[in-house]
């Protein structure tokens, strides 16, 4: 490095004091982060990444303590600062985007008030100037209709919107170092691309440094200069992004990369890492990865490996340069592709509408409506997966909640197994509740914090009559935990004792507990690192093959969609704009919006990264959608017809596309490619 790093970390260790004993959750971390550099921290859920970030900000929980080491920001030892002086530093020179926005946002303050608090406290802006800057920040992170949003509370926003508010708050103080803990986990690919472009631009303009904690290797490949890989509280490999992703040296890093759906492809079984991250209770002898390593030697089980190399370019494995290719048993293998024969639909939606009234005035009269879902028709056969994709706020989750009867329809109908589903009430509904289940996007908000895992899983079984008594249900709990990669001992713990990824696995186990025929999966792997994601995707495929369970997969991770889905429906502002076989929609998209979505996917293989199509403007508000085609204000093909009439669907070639400029010629689609706009920093 040509100049001193802005952040230097040496031998940082963190203990958690639980039940009278100290757990070393971070052990001897060394990091150097350069000025204007993006430094990525990778690793499985529970490996200590977030705890490292909290230690750097001195925001550890009450049971946590820094056990040793030093942290220097621009040469100053910030561990020696009194807490009162740390408050001056946090949010101004150092800021953090937290992984769980709902836990970080104040539920009794409006969005505008929370961002303005940062601006007035750290930058000294007046209330009027702070209000203007707040709107600018919300616009910069892709929040539609910011004038309305600043007066809303966190519970009124979707998961993706809450995450964008957190990013806006972190950027408000114009920090020198931004610590981003899974900053784009809850964001769809187009907003993710906007946010990453924004962070890149801010780095250039301000010389800001970024510590990026993420499980998305595509984001790392497109953003990071340097990468450190963590496992069980230690850094096991570090180097430039190109070195680590293209020529990984540590066994753990090599196995992580083989677990990517992008690498494996559809109709293949993902490679997984056997076992789990070991308990950090001081009982680890030798290499911490030895119990899961495919190249393990006898010496690995008794001798802890030393770090080899420099701080920013090294590995914790004495055999790193002697590793053979990945064992054949762990390589992906073909699994049977689903049959093309279509049985009658298990679930069918016809012209489904969900409108939320907007009320104003003293008498709270209805003055308008948010058309969250505005005429959606879908069909899911038994044992098949339909993926619903689109930007945050387009109505995907609202569709999912309508299917599980958590939203009331404003119009249309839903049938399940050929019978009316949307009209069922009382005992008729309760008797069939187990047939349709949901995995929510935010696992922490959907798990009762006062209940242990076993009680959470058995509650649904008892209510819906699954299992023969408490003993049988407890055995089912152990099987479910094993299926989703958690030890049986986890059944007596509370949700707050787990990492974000582990909580998501519990949420999936709860949905599976009552043996459903259809599961609505709302971002089921968004909080999971790639190795656990591989386990869950394999599990979902296995359950589909064995039990014939069907999935409605709501996701912004299009590599997961490509791997798991048989059909894809692309949603924009409450309506379906393109729908058809996954291989057709994802490989040869026809609607301009689908083309833009796919161009925004960050890929690990940079050579396969398509040219970005940057959409003009922002996602319109569903309370006031544009006339004609809803996409016309952002579309480079838009003409007078597009602005006057909503297009009907053109149907052929295994798909349907709602676009005036897609026409049939000899049974095939003809559509001019969308001309990419210049990126903001081009």
Average pLDDT, integer, range 324-331:
49
Residue 233: inside a domain: no
Residue 682: inside a domain: no
Predicted pLDDT at 336: 38
Residues in the chain: 682
526 pLDDT higher than 80: no
Instruction: Give the residue, 673 or 52, on which the prediction is more confident.
Output: 52
Q: Do 216 and 351 have their domain in common?
A: no
DSSP 609-660: PPPP-PPSS-PPPTTSPPSSSTTGGG-TT--HHHHHSPPPEEEETTEEEE-T
Determine the Cα–Cα distance for residues 518 and 572; give it in Å rounded to an integer. 24
Predicted confidence (pLDDT) per residue in 53-109, tens digit:
999 999 998 999 999 999 999 999 999 999 888 888 888 899 998 877 777 899 999
Predicted pLDDT at 543: 80
The least confident of 339-343, 399-403, 493-497, 523-527 is: 339-343
Predicted pLDDT at 666: 38
Predicted pLDDT at 263: 66
Predicted pLDDT at 133: 93
Residue 259: inside a domain: no
Average pLDDT, integer, range 450-467:
92
Say how many CA atoms lie within 13 Å of 149 toward its Cβ.
26
Dihedral pair phi/psi, residue 244, rounded to 5°: -70, -40
Please give the distance of CA 250 from its chain centroid, rounded to a whole number.
26
Average pLDDT, integer, range 628-635:
93
Are 30 and 5 in contact, with CB atoms under 8 Å apart?
no
Predicted pLDDT at 255: 86
Average pLDDT, integer, range 637-666:
82
Nearest CA to 497 out of 19, 65, 107, 43 is that of: 19
Predicted confidence (pLDDT) per residue in 7-52, tens digit:
999 999 999 988 778 888 999 999 999 999 999 998 877 788 889 9
**Structure token digits, residue 148:** 């309305």
Residue 665: inside a domain: yes
**Structure token digits, residue 85:** 């002086």
Q: Which of 224, 258, 289 is the last residue of a domain?
A: 224
Predicted confidence (pLDDT) per residue in 134-177, tens digit:
999 998 887 878 998 999 999 888 766 787 888 889 888 889 99
Predicted pLDDT at 453: 95
Where does the pLDDT of residue 282 fall: very low under 50, low under 70, confident under 90, or very high at 90 and above?
low
Say how many domains are in the chain: 2
With a CB cutoff of 8 Å and minimum separation 6, the contacts of 129 are: 119
Nearest CA to 409 out of 446, 372, 436 is that of: 372
674 pLDDT higher than 90: no
334 pLDDT higher than 60: no
Portion of the chain with pLDDT greater than 70, in percent:
90
481 pLDDT higher than 70: yes
287 pLDDT higher than 50: yes
Instruction: Give the residue, 357 or 272, on which the prediction is more confident.
Output: 357
Q: CATH code at 446?
A: 3.40.50.300
With a CB cutoff of 8 Å and minimum separation 6, the contacts of 61 are: 16, 54
Predicted pLDDT at 281: 67
271 pLDDT higher than 80: no
DSSP 256-292: HHHT-HHHH-TTBPPP---S-PPP-SS---S-TTGGG
Residue 318: inside a domain: no
Average pLDDT, the chain: 85
Residue 149: inside a domain: yes
Where does the pLDDT of residue 339 fall: very low under 50, low under 70, confident under 90, or very high at 90 and above?
very low
3-class DSSP state of 107:
coil
Q: Which of 195, 224, 253 is the last residue of a domain?
A: 224
Predicted pLDDT at 337: 42
Predicted pLDDT at 664: 42
Q: Which of 194, 224, 254 is the last residue of a domain?
A: 224
Are 49 and 221 in contact, with CB atoms under 8 Å apart?
no
Instruction: Give the residue, 337 or 57, on which the prediction is more confident.
Output: 57
Counting DSSP H helices and E strands in the chain, the numbers are: 23, 26
Residue 632: inside a domain: yes
Cα–Cα distances in angstroms (integers) from residue 609 to residues 245, 478, 521, 598, 601, in the given order? 15, 42, 27, 10, 8
Determine the Cα–Cα distance for residues 235 and 580; give it in Å rounded to an integer. 44
Domain that holds residue 105: 7-224
Instruction: Give the residue, 366 or 454, on which the prediction is more confident.
Output: 454
Expressed in angstroms, the distance from the first to the final Cα of the chain is 26
Q: What is the pTM of this model?
A: 0.75
Residue 402: inside a domain: yes
Max CA separation in the chain (angstroms): 76
The least confident of 79-83, 87-91, 324-328, 615-619 is: 324-328
502 pLDDT higher than 60: yes
Predicted pLDDT at 661: 85
3-state helix, strand, coil split of the chain in percent (to 5) is 35, 25, 40
Q: Is 221 left (phi over 0), alpha (psi -120 to 50) or beta?
A: alpha
């Amino acid at each position: 490095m040509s100049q001193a790093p802005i952040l230097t970390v040496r031998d940082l260790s963190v203990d958690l004091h639980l039940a009278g004993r100290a757990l070393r959750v971070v052990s001897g971390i060394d990091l150097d982060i350069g000025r204007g550099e993006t430094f990525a921290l990778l690793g499985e859920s529970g490996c200590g990444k977030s705890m490292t970030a909290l230690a750097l900000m001195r925001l550890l929980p009450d049971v946590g303590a820094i056990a040793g080491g030093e942290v220097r920001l621009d040469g100053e030892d910030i561990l020696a600062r009194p807490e009162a002086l740390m408050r001056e530093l946090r949010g101004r020179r150092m800021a953090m985007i937290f992984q769980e926005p709902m836990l970080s946002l104040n539920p009794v303050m409006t969005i505008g008030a929370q961002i303005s608090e940062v601006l007035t406290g750290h930058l000294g802006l007046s209330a009027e100037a702070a209000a203007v800057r707040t709107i600018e920040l919300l616009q910069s992170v892709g929040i539609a209709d910011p004038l309305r949003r600043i007066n809303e509370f966190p519970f009124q926003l979707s998961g993706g919107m809450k995450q964008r508010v957190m990013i806006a708050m972190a950027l408000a103080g114009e920090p020198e170092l931004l610590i981003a803990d899974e900053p784009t986990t809850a964001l769809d690919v187009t907003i993710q691309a906007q946010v990453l472009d924004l962070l890149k631009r801010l780095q250039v303009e301000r010389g800001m440094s970024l510590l990026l904690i993420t499980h998305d290797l595509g984001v790392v490949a497109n953003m990071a200069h340097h990468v450190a890989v963590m496992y069980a509280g230690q850094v096991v490999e570090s180097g430039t992004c190109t070195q680590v992703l293209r020529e990984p040296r540590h066994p753990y890093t090599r196995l992580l990369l083989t677990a990517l759906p992008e690498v494996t492809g559809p109709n293949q079984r993902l490679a997984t890492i056997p076992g789990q991250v070991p308990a950090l209770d001081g009982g680890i002898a030798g290499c911490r990865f030895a119990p899961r390593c495919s190249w393990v030697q006898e010496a690995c089980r008794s001798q802890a490996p030393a770090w080899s190399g420099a701080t920013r370019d090294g590995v914790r494995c004495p055999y790193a340069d002697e590793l053979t290719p990945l064992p054949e048993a762990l390589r992906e293998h073909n699994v049977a592709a689903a049959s093309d024969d279509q049985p009658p639909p298990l679930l069918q939606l016809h012209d489904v509408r969900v409108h939320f009234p907007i009320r104003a005035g003293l008498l709270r009269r209805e003055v308008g409506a948010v058309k969250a879902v505005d005429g959606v028709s879908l069909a899911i056969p038994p044992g098949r997966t339909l993926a619903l994709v689109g930007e945050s706020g387009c109505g995907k989750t609202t569709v999912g909640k309508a299917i599980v009867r958590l939203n009331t329809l404003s119009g249309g109908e839903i049938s399940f197994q050929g019978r009316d589903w949307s009209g069922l009430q009382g005992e008729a509904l309760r008797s069939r509740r187990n047939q349709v289940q949901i995995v929510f996007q935010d696992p922490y908000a959907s798990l009762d914090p006062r209940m242990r895992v076993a009680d959470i899983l058995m509650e649904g079984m008892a209510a819906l009559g699954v299992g023969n008594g408490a003993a049988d249900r407890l055995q089912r709990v152990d099987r479910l935990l094993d299926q989703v990669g958690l030890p049986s001992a986890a059944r007596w713990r509370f949700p707050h004792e787990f990492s974000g990824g582990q909580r998501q696995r519990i949420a999936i186990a709860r949905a599976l507990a009552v043996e459903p025929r259809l599961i609505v999966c709302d971002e089921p792997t968004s909080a999971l690192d790639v190795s656990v994601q591989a386990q869950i995707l394999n599990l979902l495929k296995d359950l589909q093959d064995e039990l014939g369970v069907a999935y409605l997969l709501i996701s912004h991770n299009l590599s997961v969609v490509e791997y798991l889905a048989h059909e894809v429906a692309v949603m924009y502002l409450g309506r379906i704009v393109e729908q058809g076989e996954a291989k057709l929609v994802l490989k040869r998209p026809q609607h301009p919006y689908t083309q833009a979505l796919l161009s925004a996917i960050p890929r690990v293989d940079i050579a396969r990264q398509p040219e970005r199509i940057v959409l003009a403007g922002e996602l319109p508000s569903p309370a006031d959608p544009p006339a004609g085609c809803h996409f016309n204000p952002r579309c480079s093909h838009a003409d007078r017809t597009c602005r006057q009439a909503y297009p009907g669907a053109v149907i052929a070639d295994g798909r349907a596309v709602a676009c005036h400029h897609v026409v049939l010629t000899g049974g095939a689609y003809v559509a001019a490619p969308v001309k990419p706009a210049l990126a903001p920093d081009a």
